Structure 1
Amino acid sequence: MSPVSSSSIAARRQAFKALHASGCFVIPNPWDVGSARYLQGLGFKALATTSSGYAWSCGKPDGAGSLDEVLEHLRMLVAATDLPINADFESGYASDAQGVVENVRLAIETGVAGLSIEDASGDASQPIRDVDAAIARIRAARRAIDAAGGDVLLIGRAENLLWGVDDMADTVARLKAYADAGADCLYAPGLRTPEQIAAVVAAVAPKPVNLLIGWSSPLSVQQVAALGVRRISVGGALARSAWGGFTKAARAIAQDGRFDTAFADAASGQVLNDFFRTGKLS
């Protein structure tokens, strides 16, 4: 793929910031070049990576990708579309805050328009980092972004609800602390009820909130927007949906020896070829 010009990257970052200024938009999560291009074809205005979706495409569990692998993945997605890319940068791929500074600098160099830093530790015995250590990582990412020109958005993630820490008071307190430490957008994956969502939006206002909807939810984009959410992501849900279709078809062949049900929901090869040839959906 051809390198992306600095002017194009600057324009994408400016457009990404504008998306966060008002309204509500959906930022879906591709896991490879093809899914990224298809999502652009559907008219989405920005895309976000998914650590889980990417890891599964490499035959690894979520969180097992190396820094170098993730940086190359970011470069590929930035080059694949004309859209701003938000990086799921996990906890910065570093053991300490100074390492986060250096790694965020490398992520910025890939051309991403935003990146998230989470407070999950990767340690099953203590899945969420001490709040002071988590704040230090947000501050480190902020320093790296400011040193690079300040045009990349920083998203602070509080992971309590994904790791069984059902403590909304602590989640809200962490998000407020991450906002004070320099996060431009706040994100607590696992919020489900309108009451939880509204509480987070109010707590960090006027900074924008990202809401994850990676499951079957009764909430529509319009309803989420009415709660004050600025952007909606889906995490690994699109990748899981693709894996769901693949595993269902493969199991029908392997376990039942059947091809009639295996490919009943398969996409048309001609339609896919036409799209990837022209970039337009028929």
Structure 2
Amino acid sequence: MTDLAAKAQTLLDLHRAPELLVLANAWDVVSARAVAAVEGTKAIATPSHGIAATFGYEDGEQIPLDLHLDMVARIAADVALPVTMDFEGGYGDAGETTCRAIAAGAVGGNLEDGLKPLEESVAAVEASLRAARDAGVPGFVLNARTDAFTKAPAGQDPADTLAEAITRCKAYLEVGAPVVFVPRAARREHVEALVSELGRGVVTLISIPGVSLPTRELEALGVARVSTGPFTQRVALTALQDATAELLAGGVLPPGTRPLN
């Protein structure tokens, strides 16, 4: 088994374990090092939004794929842990982008459906999984994302949004996706319904400040994984902006600042 295949299997096993996999997203090498150094960290996730913002691009495949992959490759080469990449909608070719992500050292990836027609979205999931097998990484952890909640029409009945999410997730699981990602599904009743309909250990969520349930509760509900998307970068930027404001107001930098780089 190759090193990448072994890392992919490790990442897959972490999703299947009864313990919740918590991924604090890292957007560059130094943030990945800081996250990896925290006791209990088992893998590194990269956010498309965070990497794009690092280079001054908006989210939504606005950053050139080569530049995006270069940062993922730098992170994967620097940390020993499995790395999973957010390759958004697949940059027009989910299979090819999966191959390139694996070549960059990623052993998992988020693929969002953008609420495209279900048949088209299922085909993209199949293409990604097939590409991973052909690359010799059959355990590649494709996190098939539905945007049922993120792109729900204004005023839509939440029950309809939930039903759409479940329908799409079931379709992705049926063609082999190991886990399914439902961002912005944060209400307890929605999380409970997703796990009930899809199964324990397959639902992944994003932690949203002031909105999401605590990780200990998500674990008890049977969620497989929770990641942080752009929010860990926003935590860092909030600290930076607050420290700057304190200095400009005549104060000092936070005394508890640690030499992490």
Other structure's SS at 1:163 match: coil
- Choose 1 or 2 for highest CA Rg: 1
**Does the CA contact (< 8 Å) of 1:84 and 1:113 recur in 2?**
yes
- What residue in structure 1 maps to residue 4 of structure 2? 9
Other structure's SS at 1:211 match: strand
Separation in 2, partners of 1:116, 1:93: 12
Structure 2 length normalisation: TM-score?
A: 0.89
- What residue in structure 1 maps to residue 48 of structure 2? 51
* RMSD of aligned residue pairs (Cα, Å): 2.0
Deviations 1:17-71 (A, max 9, x none): 2111222120110111111011111020011110111111111211221111111
Deviations 1:206-262 (A, max 9, x none): 551111112224622221111110111111111011122223344566xxx4241xx
Query: Structure 1 pair 252/26, CA: closer, same or farther in 2 (3 Å)?
Result: same
Deviations 1:187-212 (A, max 9, x none): 10001112111111122225511111
Separation in 1, partners of 2:211, 2:68: 30
Sequence identity, in percent? 29
**Does the CA contact (< 8 Å) of 2:46 and 2:84 recur in 1?**
yes
Name structure 2 gaps, 5 residues minimum.
none
Separation in 1, partners of 2:16, 2:120: 29
> How do residues 1-282 of structure 1 correspond to structure 2 at under 5 angstroms?
7-23=2-18, 24-43=20-39, 44-63=41-60, 64-94=62-92, 99-120=93-114, 128-149=115-136, 150-165=138-153, 166=158, 167-205=161-199, 208-217=202-211, 219-250=213-244, 257-260=248-251, 263-265=252-254, 268=257, 271-272=258-259, 275-276=260-261
Separation in 2, partners of 1:61, 1:249: 25
Structure 2 counterpart of 1:265, one-letter code: P
Higher relative contact order (CA 8 A, sep 6+): 2
Separation in 2, partners of 1:8, 1:175: 30
Structure 1 length normalisation: TM-score?
A: 0.82
Q: How many aligned positions are there?
A: 251
Structure 2 counterpart of 1:69, one-letter code: L
Name structure 1 gaps, 5 residues minimum.
1-5, 121-127, 277-282
Other structure's SS at 2:149 match: helix
Separation in 2, partners of 1:259, 1:30: 32
